[in-house]
Amino acid sequence: LSIFKLLSVSDELHPLASPAFPETFRLNNDSPMQKALQFILQNFQKQIQVSDILQITNMSYTAFYNSFKYTYRMSFKSYLMNIRIGYACRLLIEATQDISEIAYDSGFENLSNFNRQFKKIKGVTPSQFQKQNMVIRH
């Protein structure tokens, strides 16, 4: 009970969901954007080609990018990066792998790009994030 009291008076706010997850409940399961989202969530750890998504959604490049940005309020590239960084954050908090393994497991091809993108989105390096979010394990 005391932890809830501490949390209620804390000045720090921690979002429970990534900004990459706007309300999607209004989308029809068969809509092109829902198909794109499902593909991204199932394959974000791999190298995703836009051509794969265009084939799944049966859309042109321009139509896909415009529709994606309208639906999710960010570009496809930004959305994918947010998904990968969010997943990496979870792995960093769990602290069962080293940072280079986490980078590759999150869909990054090299550690340098992972560190750069992580700092750009989170404002801290992966190791700083991990230290700030250490979970005491028994």
Question: One digit per residue, pLDDT tens: the chain, 138 residues?
Answer: 554 444 444 444 444 444 444 444 445 567 899 999 999 999 999 999 999 999 999 999 999 999 999 999 999 999 999 999 999 999 999 888 999 999 999 999 999 999 999 999 999 999 999 999 876 554
pTM of the model: 0.75
Question: What's the burial of 88, exposed, middle or buried (CB within 10 Å: 0-12/13-18/19+)?
Answer: buried
- Over the stretch 38-60, which tens digit does the pLDDT of each residue have? 999 999 999 999 999 999 999 99
Instruction: Give the helix/strand (H/E) hosting 86.
Output: helix 76-94
Three-state DSSP at 135 gives: coil
The rounded mean pLDDT for the chain is 84
- As a whole number of angstroms, the distance between CA 68 and CA 49 comes to 15
The residues near 118 (Cβ < 8 Å, ≥ 6 apart) are 85, 88, 124, 125, 126, 129
Question: What's the distance, CA 11 to chain centroid?
Answer: 25
